[in-house]
Structure 1
């Protein structure tokens, strides 16, 4: 099987989980015997572009002529079975879908954010969830609020791009939704069930889990949508030392808030930004990993890393977090076909499957999942859940690792992706 993987890489100065996932997926497919033809562009190319090329940048999200010419040549020469698109902005444009279809090549797109509808891709504005552009032919609120890169002009361009390419997105042959929440987003956009497959990302297997550590770990970007204010507020509702240590790793605009919390309390430690070895060590030192996002976080990779290490997760009931910890209700239709292949990714809730640990002892408002707990994004709810997670971590640790092995291991996820390709591959 021959697959073109198309992706506009985000700038390296801003570490991107999406870049990492695309690189890992290419490696996993290659290891499985798939011939991968990378069609990659990077936003780091923009500063070195010629003056003429830069002059065309404002229209490139709508139509990027150079990318279409180069893709057309690649498709003619290589005759791939499928084109797999990730991020098209700004140097590829969703027009690559039309170019592929013109050559008779079916298209799969992995949906990493909400940018079919939302100009920022986040459904988050001014510290709150925002879905003002849902259902609109043109995202005027995005322009008014400068949602794309803080610029009214660039927001107008992105809103226009989304309007122009509504038909383009609806022509995609198969969408890969990373979680059930993304599948719901696509259904709301008008994509029929039979063209949606729930397939999460995978991360390499770190090996057998180390013995459970102590306390809690927050690992991620220190920005408002990640819920640092929520976490610090909830933590302060317990006496110093009552829950064990809270370690916070990462960097971002809310670093002063974290540093102040660490200075105020002996049980809070700020680890700063970590490399890969530091991330693994921090996870192994903890008993519970936190995912306290206050936006509809699509698929926080740190949760999969936690499960792979046998650490349960306490998170907010937003976006893909309930799905990741096995605390959501699967909504894919049963039967055969693409949606049915997604059912392997859904939490086991039928007869014979293990019940959530200590479900009977969980206070109201806290939902116990297969590999962790989720709560409303409110300080009181999170504060109530912290001691529940501390007490239940050891009991849920084996289930966390088992969920990783069954749902997020590269062997499982790569096979599912190849099955998606096979279901739509060009014949002859």
Structure 2
């Protein structure tokens, strides 16, 4: 079988997140069938330096000449068959698209969020979903300061995105797009990407053969794992937990900008059965999972996928989640988890009560999730789907 030479391109964000983890997980898996190298830059490098260099940040965010010169050299030396782009904003710049078009290099573009139709990539700000910029007009984002809560930052990002869409025509000129769920694909079709150029390739999670998940606890707790930010809906979860018996514990594992406001809300709601762990090392996380009955995903934004679901299934734990974004594509209500309508005030607490009502069912649902992970979201299936994308791009 032909081994492609693939250059994986990624502009790191200021803070590590799930997207960055996915980039390296994808790269590691690809090397089983193809030759892969990375071209990585970061937002931190873009802003580093003296005052004059910082003054030129907006210009370099549009076209980062030094970085693109290096990228050009990479291509001449590596002779890559395609560029697999994950993110170029802001440090690599949309000039990477221009360079690929100029050199005639096919682009396989991985979609992790909604950046090409939203300055902050979430289509969510100030506590609610917002699709004002989905068709390429970013003035509403600038007006509402949706990126870093800054007029200047949002103006630069909005300008870059408008330039990418209207001048570079990236929506029409990218060879193939990879969406990680059908829900994410549907939104990008609304943005203007031709439907027949977007392939849906869900993420995978590799389990270790012969390693059993932790035994199911007799009186386990509910667990939230993730970044504590507004779109994750942890405030909704806390309000729902007021309806749960006081002897049932909720563990919130993670850190983020909402940590202190959420702790304050816990006190205000007089919740004595909620524990915030902050960030935990992997071995400490394993101890928390041992006492977990189910995982909770109370997101209130259009989740593009939801790796946290696969991570729970890997531990043979079912998931209680809002039915939003890709989550209802992954979770089968009553089989491997419970779904709650995010628009119904009592739905989440009802789903939590269902989860706590029968430990025997929870144990079986967790095993069902583990089986689905191994059958539907495994590395081999993912590799076959990626190769199908490469074939459609004329690379195989």
Q: Is the 8 A contact 2:45 2:91 kept in 1?
A: no
1:194 equivalent in structure 2:
196
Q: Provide the residue aligned with 2:243 in structure 1.
A: 237
Does residue 388 (structure 1) correspond to residue 394 (structure 2)? The answer is: no
1:251 aligns with 2:255: yes
* Cα shift at 1:257: 5.0
1:299 aligns with 2:305: yes
RMSD: 2.2
- Separation of aligned partners in 2, 1:249 and 1:148: 26
Residues 262-281 of structure 1 aligned to structure 2 (within 5 Å): 264-281=270-287
Q: How far does the alpha carbon of each residue in 1:213-264 deviate from its partner, in whole angstroms, 9 at most, with x for none?
A: 32310111222221121111111013312xx322111123333455453794
- Using structure 1 for the length normalisation, give the TM-score: 0.83
CA contact under 8 A between 2:249 and 2:273: conserved in structure 1?
Answer: yes
The answer for the alignment partner of 1:17 in structure 2 is: 18
Alignment correspondent of 1:351: none
The residue that corresponds to 1:211 in the other structure is 215
Q: Distance in 1 between matches of 2:47 and 2:88?
A: 18
Aligned match of 2:69: 69
Q: Which moved more, 1:2-11 or 1:199-208?
A: 199-208
Q: Deviations over 1:30-89 (max 9, x none)?
A: 2x0421121111223235446554343202333222232222222223221111000111
Q: In 2 relative to 1, CA 254–48 (structure 1 residues): closer, same or farther, beyond 3 Å? A: closer
Higher relative contact order (CA 8 A, sep 6+): 1
1:140 counterpart = 2:139: yes
> Distance between the aligned counterparts of 1:59 and 1:385, measured in 2?
50
- Indicate if the aligned counterparts of 1:8 and 1:88 stay in contact, CA closer than 8 A: yes
Aligned residue among 322, 325, 331 for 2:328? 322
Query: Is the deviation greater in 232-241 or in 45-54?
Result: 45-54
In the other structure, the counterpart of 1:333 is none
Work out the CA distance in 1 between the residues paired with 2:144 and 2:69. 35
- Deviation (angstroms), 1:107: 0.6
Unaligned 5+ segments in structure 2 are none
Give the aligned length.
Answer: 380
Cα distance in 2 for partners of 1:288, 1:4 equals 39
Q: Which moved more, 1:107-116 or 1:270-279?
A: 270-279
Q: Please tell me whether residue 424 in structure 1 is matched to residue 393 in structure 2.
A: yes
Partner of 1:384: helix, strand, or coil? helix
- Within 5 Å, give how 1:282-297 maps onto structure 2: 282-297=288-303
Q: Distance in 1 between matches of 2:38 and 2:394?
A: 17
TM-score by length of 2: 0.89
